[in-house]
Amino acid sequence: MKIQQWIMQHKNQLTFITGILIIFAGIAKFIFTWLLGYQIAMIIASIIGVLPIFLQAYQALKVRVLSIDLLVTIAVFGAFLIGEYNESAIVTFLFLFGSFLEQKTLEKTRTAIQSLTKMAPKSALKILDNGSSKTVEIENIVKGDRLLVKTGSQVPVDGIIDEGEGYLDEASVTGESKQRRKGKGDDVFAGTFLDNGTLKIKTKRVGEDTTFGKIIELVEEAQDSKSSAERFIDKFAKYYTPAVLILSLIVGILSQNVRLAITILVLGCPGALVIGVPVSNVAGIGSGARSGILIKGGEVIDGFSKVDTFVFDKTGTLTLGKPSVAAVKNYSGDLAESLKIAASIERESDHPLGQAIIDYAKLSSYLPVTQTNVVKGQGIKAILDDKNVLVGNQSLMTENGVELTEKMQSDIHKLQTAGHSLVMVAIDGQLSLLIGIKDQIRPGVKETLDRLKEMGAKELIMLTGDNQETAESIAEELGITKVYGNLLPENKADYIRKLQNEGHQTAFVGDGVNDSPSLALSDIGIAMGGGTEIAIETSDIVLMKSSFEKLADAYRLTKRILRNMQENILISLGTVLLLLLGLVLGYIYMASGMFIHELSILIVIFNGMRLLLNYKKKTKT
């Protein structure tokens, strides 16, 4: 048992020893014409080289699997018995060297996982009761602990900022290289880096439960899962290997040509076919992970590449999910002064529309408000610098005798038709400002939807709980033709079922808890990474940086992966047919055939690796 372990642990070293012996044999024969040295070197190379291959075949036979290693082992023993030591040595070396290159190449396709794992936080500065800090292992941090994060340090947990502010590099979680400024009350994620500032954070999640931990888990699970193409190849190989053995036996008996039978065993190995599809799958998923697209497995690749109908939630998906000022109509002389008055009064309220006005004004100082009176359902009455100010809706204006001209009424109608929520500001009985606030469309949404259509999407549909008029105004701007408003979560799920019953391959894109039923029910569920945990858990694809443009990138990537798999299958089957045809016609022999066979393995591996290289280039442009 120890010998077996040693052989398998030193498989790569044995490969190179075999290669060196073959080179030595060639020098002995062709330079020194030392035939005995040539024979001895080839015999030793054959014995050393076949050992790990034989052990792999034996281990497979123990679980009743006829592996490719078995074909090579029989072929090598056969060549050895008939005195073709050069053939047996070269076959073992090429097979082992191909395996070595395959192993190294696959390792490179998993660099996304390796780099993520290395980036996982190992320790943290815990703030003690006396205010001092102490370095502790991450395993000893629990929910509720307060931690100190200094400039240049890694955030060790998912948490919320308790004190301080700074600029964070969140590329490891969101894929976005741009730094984000965060302060008290903002969320921070494990695995991100504090480039500037000092933070005290309160722990919410640690270890595998953090956003960063879940990213690693999702990608690991995805790369280990198999597509339908891979399952087909596994099944094919299961029956193909014994078929080659039987064919070789029949040919040997009928032709009485042992060499020919052994050559069929060698050339019939479906190595490229077995490795070609998994390498495409792993490379493609790794490629997506590096740019913030998490694809949860090979089955998702098949499904998403065939999607013809995209269904979108509106708020937080097509839009940013945060109301902001989109239009301002000024009816007074000084716009800046009127805005400062409005923002100063809105500071007295926590209404989201008021916060949108404050964000829009971007003031460093505010005017003193001496008196405020909140009118429920209408707005605020206030006194500011001896001015009587009204900030609220049209009802507040009407009840307080503010006159609205035809021009003002026309502006109000236009903004309402466009889906704005309106805030009016009147100063001393005269309307000063009309502010239109709406949930803004995400940057790049229209361009992304156009790209989806170009790539084969036939239907783009919006489902939302918002009113139909607001939904239609956004849909018209984006070029979405089917819009359904005023929907509850169960109504959205029912519509997904209806599309599926009509034969559509559906993808639902959402971000909230209310989207979870539709995400789970659709053929492919796609969650925006900034959404809720349950939305991310129930989805098949996660766009980690909540960048809508990544949706088209993911769609294109899955199509490329599927095409790459098909290319590798064609290369593999074409090679086997070429070898068998060459064998029949007498142009290909055992060693040359094995060389072509191993070359085909490298070709499909490098073809799969193009997914990493090409995708990286395209995401930079």
Buried b (16+ CB within 10 A) or exposed e, 35-53: eeebbbbbbbbbbbbbbbb
pLDDT at 220: 55
As a whole number, mean pLDDT of residues 614-618 equals: 51
pLDDT at 354: 85
As a whole number, mean pLDDT of residues 235-245 equals: 73
- Whether 350 sits among the annotated catalytic residues: the reply is no
Q: Distance from CA of residue 400 to its chain's centroid?
A: 55
Q: Which helix (H) or strand (E) holds 324?
A: strand 319-330
pLDDT at 176 over 50: no
pLDDT at 42: 92
Q: 334 with 385: CB under 8 angstroms?
A: no
pLDDT at 382: 92
pLDDT at 425: 95
* Residue pLDDT, tens place only, 294-334: 888 777 888 899 999 999 988 778 888 778 898 999 998 78
Say which residues have a Cβ less than 8 Å from residue 468's Cβ, sequence separation at least 6: 483, 484, 485, 486
CA distance 221 to 295: 10
Q: At what angle do helices 298-305 and 549-585 cross, to 10 degrees?
A: 100
Buried b (16+ CB within 10 A) or exposed e, 328-348: bbebeeeeeebbbbbbbbbbe
CA distance 74 to 91: 11
Pick from 86-95, 168-177, 450-459: least confident? 168-177
CA distance 575 to 486: 58
Q: How many CA atoms lie within 13 A of 209 on its CB side?
A: 12
Taking every pair of C-alpha atoms in the chain, what is the biggest distance, in angstroms? 115
pLDDT at 88: 80
* Residue pLDDT, tens place only, 97-117: 767 766 665 555 455 445 555
Task: Identify the residue with better confidence: 392 or 234.
Answer: 392
Task: Identify the residue with better confidence: 227 or 344.
Answer: 344
**Cross-strand partners of 441:** 319
CA distance 127 to 133: 4
DSSP label of 512: S
Q: Distance from CA of residue 180 to its chain's centroid?
A: 21
* Residue pLDDT, tens place only, 462-476: 998 776 777 888 888
* Residue pLDDT, tens place only, 425-449: 999 999 999 999 887 888 889 999 9
Q: How confident is the model at residue 222 (pLDDT cuts 50, 70, 90)?
A: very low
Task: Report residue 352 as tokens.
Answer: 């989201």
Query: Considering 69, 145, 169, 313, which one is annotated as catalytic?
Result: 313
Task: Identify the residue with better confidence: 367 or 280.
Answer: 367
Say which residues have a Cβ less than 8 Å from residue 226's Cβ, sequence separation at least 6: 234, 278, 281, 297, 298, 299
CA distances from 20 to 23, 75, 97, 545 (A): 5, 22, 12, 50
Q: Which residue has the tokens 């009985």?
A: 429
Domains detected in the chain: 119-216 (2.70.150.10), 321-440 (3.40.1110.10)
Q: What is the mean pLDDT of the chain?
A: 82
pLDDT at 599: 82
